Amino acid sequence: MNARVRFCASMLGLAVWVGGAVSPARAQSQEMRQHVVTLEELNKQAARPAETRQANEGAIRHLLSSDAGQEALKSAKVDYQRVDKALGQLSDEEVAQLADRSRQAESDFAAGSISAKHLAYIILAIIVIVVIIVIARAV
């Protein structure tokens, strides 16, 4: 009987030892599977900056194409197409900053916090900033 107990104990020990050696490998394999990024996720992440820039340019264009924007462009004697083309030459950071200002100006105007005259000044400032940046890069 004593030999059977020792044999069972040794088999149990062997099973635990082998099972313990396999478990970390399985756990590591499962961890590796969890960290795999699909091609679809990579494509989405790669497209985000372009989508963000497009949305930011859209916010600037929306403000410039508004009635107040068109009046500001006329008073500055600047063609909308030239400013629109110049937007493409700005960095993502510059476009983001101008878009934030454009959105804030439209929001303030809609809320009645600023007058149409102040909105026109803000639009003129945005136009001047775009033109200055483009000219500075050309030099």
Burial of residue 52 (CB within 10 Å: 0-12, 13-18, 19+) is middle
Q: Residue 29: its pLDDT value, please?
A: 57
pLDDT in tens, 98-112: 999 999 999 999 999
Q: What is the mean pLDDT of residues 9-34?
A: 57
pTM for the predicted model, two decimal places: 0.67
Amino acid at 23: S
Q: What is the mean pLDDT of residues 14-43?
A: 64
Q: Residue 131: its pLDDT value, please?
A: 84
Distance CA 73, CA 75 (A): 6
* SS3 label, residue 77: coil
Q: Residue 32: its pLDDT value, please?
A: 56
Whether pLDDT at 62 is above 90: yes
Q: With cut-offs at 50, 70 and 90, classify the pLDDT of residue 30.
A: low
